[in-house]
Structure formats: structure tokens, C-alpha cells
Amino acid sequence: MIAECRLAIAESKTNRQSAVGKRHLFMSEAMSVATESAIHTENLSKTYYDFWGRPKVTALKNLNLTINRGEVFGLLGPNGSGKSTTIKLLLGLIFPDRGGSAHVLGHPAGDTEINARIGFLPEESYLYRFLNGEETLKFYGRLFKIPKKELKERVPILLDTVGLDEKARKRKLREYSKGMARRIGLAQALINNPDLILLDEPTTGLDPIGTREMKDLILSLKAQGKTVLLCSHLLADVQDVCDRITILFRGEMMELGHVRDLLQVKDVTQISTRGLNESQVQEVKTFLSRLGATEATVTHPTTTLEDLFVRIVRDNTPGGNGAYTSSK
Ligand code: ADP
Ligand code: MG
């Protein structure tokens, strides 16, 4: 009897230990995700309060998101869906509601050392209007304590990269067009050679060429191994450059995944081929393999990101009549 009791106590102890062990393992796994990923949020929420301290808007609700290092990630959503709020939380410019957390490059959001490794292009750049493009970059370079010699080399390279020519870089920022302001804002965001770049609506004000250049630049940042978080309501921008996206609506995550997978219409199969005449096209459905068609592929066709976006907004609008009113 005593032996049985001892055995039971020993067993329950072992079970308890293994439960503790499992919890430990789980926690250490969670910790390693937080430290190894570029961005990791858990139940990240943000409520804005009014003057009297009453909750006014819940701009973000329980965002659970992991962005891998080296990834170009798109945060997509209509105006007022919480994109800029998310970026501000990641930079530690505002504080999250209790119970939620955000890690950036392995450290809690807002850590000053980590912020020095982040490049940020805000929705509106507030740069000094009386400085010219070149002076602006030198000014920010000095703030990051970049050695003078290095800065002298880096500034013209960055100005070239963002497409500001000799004439433009000598003009005062107050004379810049919106597109030029966006370009100098981006150059400023890259001055510290950041590992993580947060871009809030980067193509706003850019013409189609400027937009194309911005997308190419984002892809070249990815090729350099950098992580990019891109916020936009412009669907084509996101579709062209992002590895994965999430769609936010009224502060909630609606979709998360690879662009290609999200746009795939899974219950439809599409067959595309070259080199077949009309009669062969009729036969192809039944005799595809025997026809020996060249470059024949069988894939799933995709819808557009626009369709997906509109569907999510409509499906989640009370009344479902397709009209939604943005709170912004
Ligand atoms: P997005 O960048 O997707 O357009 P935001 O994150 O800027 O959206 O805003 C999300 C919601 O939070 C909106 O309803 C907006 O009006 C509200 N909001 C944003 N900033 C503040 C603030 N400082 N005070 C009160 N409400 C805010
Ligand atoms: Mg915004």
C-alpha cells in the first residue's frame, strides 16, 4: 500500500515535472520565435482614448503576426484599418494596450538601440524645408553618428538610388514636389543602412514611373537581405513586391498568407498551352497527355488582389451592401 502510494506520488511528480517541462519548452519556443523573427507580435492591441479618458477607437485588435527576416511583408487595408497604428507600436512611438506585446529584431518594441537599426518612412515626412536634399541626408547621417567620410560616400549613392538628380539634390525641400518629397523621405529612411525598413504608404504621390522605381527599390532591398514591412491601400503595389500579406479591416486581421496562395481559386483548374489549333483545343481536355502539347501547364487561376480586398471589406460590413464608411 505504502509502496503504491509512493509510486503514485512519484508518478504525479513526474507528470507535473513533464507538464512544467512542456510549458518550459513551449515558452522557450515562443521566446525563440520572438528573438529570431524580424517582427513578432502577440495580441497586440491599441485603444485610443478621448480627452476624458474614455475609450474612443480600438484601432488594433489582438494582432498576432510573425514576419521573418529577409521577407517583404505587406500590411494592407482601407483607410483607418490600423496600419499606421501598427507601425507606431513597432517603433515604440505609442504604447500597446495591456496584455499585448511586440518584438522587433529580437527586442521589445521601442528599444533605442534597435530603433537605430530600423529605417522608417512615415505616411507624411516632416523634414526640414529649408535644407536641400543633400543637406537633409547629411543632417540625419550625423544624428546617427555616421563617420564623415562614410557619409560623404553614402549620400550621393542614396540620392542616386532614389532617383534624385544633381539639380534636385541642390534644391530646398520646400520646392520639392510630392514625389520628390517621397524619394528624399525614403533616402532618409535608408541613411543608417537599416536591417528592417518600415514603409507607410511609400508610393503615395508617386507617378507610375516613380511607383515602379519604388517597387524595384523594395525588391533590391530584399536582395540585400533586408526585411521590409510595407503598409499600403494600393493593392497593385503590394501584389507586385510582397512575399506575404495580411489584410487588416477595422483593426482586425482578416487574411494572412502568400499572395499567390491567397489569390488562388482552388476549385477551378486552368489548362494553358501553346501550339494547338482549334480542333486540338477541343480534344485537349480528354487527350492532353497524348496530344504532346508543348509548354502545357495545368494550374489554378488567380483572382486579383482587388477582388479579394473588396470581398473582405464587403463580407465584414454590417448590412453587407458593399458600402463601408471609413472612420478616417
Ligand atoms: P490606417 O493607417 O490603416 O489608415 P490608422 O492606424 O491611422 O489607420 O488609424 C486606425 C484608427 O485609429 C482610425 O479609426 C483612426 O481614426 C484612429 N486613430 C489613429 N490615430 C489616432 C489618435 N491619435 N487618436 C485617436 N484615434 C486615432
Ligand atoms: Mg495610415
Per-residue confidence at 322, pLDDT binned at 50, 70, 90?
very low
* Ligand 1 atom having least distance to the Cα of 123: 2
Calculate mean pLDDT across residues 253-261.
89
C-alpha of residue 255 to centroid of ligand 2, in Å? 18
Calculate mean pLDDT across residues 19-47.
75
45 lines ligand 1 (CB under 6 A): no
The region of weakest confidence among 28-32, 204-208, 309-313 is 28-32
What radius of gyration, in Å, describes the C-alpha atoms of the chain?
26
What DSSP assignment string belongs to 263-286? TB-TT--EEEEES--HHHHHHHHH
302 lines ligand 1 (CB under 6 A): no
Ligand in nearest proximity to the CA of 200: 2
79 lines ligand 1 (CB under 6 A): yes
Per-residue confidence at 193, pLDDT binned at 50, 70, 90?
very high
| In contact, 198 and 227? CB cutoff 8 Å | no
* Ligand 1 atom having least distance to the Cα of 81: 3
Report the distance separating Cα 70 and Cα 228, nearest Å: 8
Burial (CB < 10 A; 0-12, 13-18, 19+), residue 273, is middle
C-alpha of residue 231 to centroid of ligand 2, in Å? 8
- E-assigned strand segments in the chain: 39-49, 55-67, 72-76, 101-104, 107-108, 118-121, 196-200, 227-232, 244-249, 252-258, 270-274, 294-299
**Average predicted confidence (pLDDT) for the chain:** 82
SS3 (DSSP) at 143: helix
* Ligand 1 atom having least distance to the Cα of 50: 25
Does residue 73 have a pLDDT over 90? Answer: yes
Calculate mean pLDDT across residues 255-266.
83
For residue 115, how far is the Cα from the chain centroid?
A: 17
33 lines ligand 1 (CB under 6 A): no
* Ligand 1 atom having least distance to the Cα of 251: 10
Angle at 166 between CA 163 and CA 168, to 5 degrees: 70
Segment 286-310, tens digit of pLDDT: 666 665 655 555 556 677 776 787 7
Long-range contact set of residues 206-211: C-beta below 8 Å, sequence gap at least 24: 206/178, 206/179, 206/182, 207/179, 210/163, 210/179, 210/182, 210/183, 211/237
Does residue 319 have a pLDDT over 90? Answer: no
Report the distance separating Cα 218 and Cα 72, nearest Å: 8
Task: Estimate the crossing angle of helix 133-143 against helix 178-190, to 10 degrees.
Answer: 30
Does residue 153 have a pLDDT over 60? Answer: yes
Q: Which domains does the chain have, with CATH numbers?
A: 32-256 (3.40.50.300), 270-299 (no CATH)
189 or 327: which leads in pLDDT: 189
Calculate mean pLDDT across residues 29-47.
85
56 lines ligand 1 (CB under 6 A): yes
Q: Residue 271: beta bridge partners?
A: 298
Does residue 169 have a pLDDT over 50? Answer: yes
What DSSP assignment string belongs to 279-305? HHHHHHHHHHHHHT-EEEEEE--B--H
Q: Which three cell numbers stand for residue 305?
A: 488582389
Does residue 77 have a pLDDT over 50? Answer: yes
SS3 (DSSP) at 57: strand
Quick one: pLDDT at residue 41? 97
80 lines ligand 1 (CB under 6 A): yes
124 lines ligand 1 (CB under 6 A): no
Calculate mean pLDDT across residues 14-24.
54
- Return the percentage of the chain with pLDDT > 70, whole number: 78
Segment 209-247, tens digit of pLDDT: 788 888 888 998 999 999 999 999 888 778 889 999 999
Does residue 192 have a pLDDT over 80? Answer: yes
Quick one: pLDDT at residue 320? 53
Quick one: pLDDT at residue 288? 62
Residues 6 or more apart whose CB falls under 8 angstroms from that of 324 comprise 78, 313, 314, 317
55 lines ligand 1 (CB under 6 A): no
Quick one: pLDDT at residue 2? 45
